[in-house]
Structures are given as C-alpha cells and as structure tokens.
Amino acid sequence: MTRFARISGTGSCLPPLRLTNADMVARLATAGVETSDEWIVERTGIRARHFASDGVFASDLAADACRNALDAAGVSAKEIDLIIVATSTPDMVFPSTAAILQHKLGIAGCPVFDVQAVCSGFIYALTVADALIRTGSASKVLVVGSEVFSRLLDFNDRTTCVLFGDGAGAVVVEASDTPGILATDIHADGKHAGILCVPGHVSGGHILGDPLLKMDGQAVFKLAVGVLEDTARAVLAKAGRTEADIDWLIPHQANIRIMASTARKLKLPMDKVVVTVDQHGNTSAASIPLALDCAVRQGQVKKGDTLMLEGVGGGFTWGSVLLDF
C-alpha cells in the first residue's frame, strides 16, 4: 500500500507585544527616521506585527506552536519521531533550535534538525518531512517555522525594519493511507545570495561583518513574482491538478502586492488567498504555518480542502507544496 504524509494538526504562537504601524512611526521618529502608516499599508499591506521580548527565543515560540498543533492532532509529544525546525533566527549558533525545542517539549531520542532556507524554510522542511514519511523513516513529525526576526532589524533602515515580525507556526504530519501531500517543488539560486542577507558571522569571539538584515527590495520583488508562478505551475503539473482544483492559496506573507500578483496569474480570486501579512508582517519561515493555523482556526480552511503553500526568500530560495488538508 502506498504511504502518504498528511497534516493532522496545526498550531501557532505570536508573542504578546503587538506594534501597529503608528507604533513603528513613533519608534522610528525617536531615531529621526521618517515613515508613515500610509506608505507601509500601500506598499506592503502590513498594519501590525508582533515582537518577542528580550529573553524569548525561537525555540520558545516554537514550543507553544507545537503544543497547539499536538493538541489539534490529538497526538502526544512522546509519539513524535522527528522534529524539523525552519528558522533563520536560531537560539544559538549550535546546537540546533530543534534540539532545544525537543527538550522544551519534554521528549528525547527522536532525530531533530534545523532547515535554513530563510522565508522558504517551511516549504523545504515540509518537503523533507514528506520524503522521510513516504520512505518509512518517520511516522509522526513536527514541522515548525519559528522566527524572531526583530533581532536582525536595523531600526535606522526604514526600507526593511517596518516589514518583519516574530512568530511561529507548526504542523503535525503523519503517515497515512491517503494523501495528504500531493506534490512538492523546491529550488534555489545562490547567485542572488546578496539581495537578501544578514552578512555578519561569528569569528574568534567577535561578530565580523554586519549582523543586521540587508535587502534589495525591488530585486527580491521582481524575482519573487516570477518564481512563485513557476513553482505553482510545476507543483500542479507534478500532482496532475490544475489551478481550478485549488481551494486556498497560502503564500509566504511578505507583501500583499506579491500575493495578489500570484493569485492573478493563477486566476484565483483574492477570497481564495489566506492573508495574514496585515496583522503579522513578514515572519519569514513562520509565515506560512502561521497563516495556515489562523485560517484553520477561523474556519476558512476545512478538512478535505486542496491547499497550495508557496514560499520565497533569501538564498535565493523558493518552492511550493500542494496538499489535501
């Protein structure tokens, strides 16, 4: 019998501190940096974002998201046999955030690792989980996207600091006789590494290079709209489905204009697109599972719906997962 991977529960976590655009305008003004609610809403669709307090790490947000996902799936942490965390803001250089998360969930023994594919990280992690479940290497997997991007922001750079937020989303993925995940499609092109990066690194007890986020927004925008269409068409072809089969598009939540462009190209009305960028900003690897969990809990996404998840980001990386929920 063919073995498939199926999402059996979703969960998420947002740190309590919520900053509206007005809060960001006030905060930036203290450093003499000018921005406005109008600019941020018109160019990005973002109205608010959450920031984690000092001392709260990606593993903390991940742990809460995982507990919610485990509850939703009716699975106990002890049954989990693999944890994959997608993050670009790990608690430490090493060990992995997944290892720290495993201990916070009160379990031990199962394999755990982080995936680093920036805003495409959750798509990469879900793709790996799907492959390991299909081959029989794992049966009940926690796939998590968790980020504290606020730690990487340069609050003197208005072109980036208003865009990002913190949060986590998690799914339990289980082996199943029925799909589940229908097809996956992931890509990268490292020649674009410089257009979205945190160039600094640790060396000899010091940080060498700039440890804050740098982005050429227009270059990222142009690449994103192209590859998101390509990967959507590729994953549909792999699954033998068409745009008409998609009940919900759940894209990486970076910019409402990129999301609208993808929807237009796929001939999907905006009421089939899950939008949380207005309330969360760009939470990098967390954005897709966070949006998925919100849509499930708000009753938008229902059992049996066909979902197109799409990510794009630093690397340059991109990809998609088509699944029956």
Q: Catalog residues that contact ligand UT7 under the rule CB under 6 A.
A: 35-36, 39-40, 43-44, 119, 158-159, 162, 196, 217-218, 220-221, 224, 254-255, 258, 282, 312-313
Half-sphere exposure of residue 311: CA atoms within 13 angstroms, side-chain side: 37
CB of 165 to ligand UT7, least distance (A): 11
Report the greatest alpha carbon distance in the chain.
64
Least distance CB 125 / ligand UT7 (angstroms): 16
End-to-end CA distance of the chain: 20
User: Between residues 159 and 176, which has the closer beta carbon with respect to ligand UT7?
Assistant: 159
DSSP summary character for residue 178: S
16: closest CA among 60, 46, 59, 47?
60
Q: Which is nearer to ligand UT7, 216 or 247 (CB)?
A: 216
Could you confirm whether 197 is annotated as catalytic?
Answer: no
**Closest to ligand UT7 by CB, 75 or 260:** 260
Q: Given 161, 252, 255, 294, which residue is catalytic?
A: 252
How do 4-13 and 18-20 pair as beta strands?
unpaired
Residue 161 appears among annotated catalytic residues? no
Query: Is 110 a residue of the active site?
Result: no
Query: DSSP code of 309?
Result: E
What per-residue string of b and e applies to 191-211 under the rule 16 or more CB within 10 Å gives b? ebeebbbbeeeeeeeeeeeee
Of 15 and 311, the one with the shorter C-beta distance to ligand UT7 is 311
DSSP 52: P
Minimum distance from CB of 123 to ligand UT7 (Å)? 12
Least distance between ligand UT7 and beta carbon 42 (Å): 9
129 close to 120: Cβ distance less than 8 angstroms? no
Q: Which of 119, 161, 197, 294 is catalytic?
A: 119
Catalytic residues: 119, 252, 282
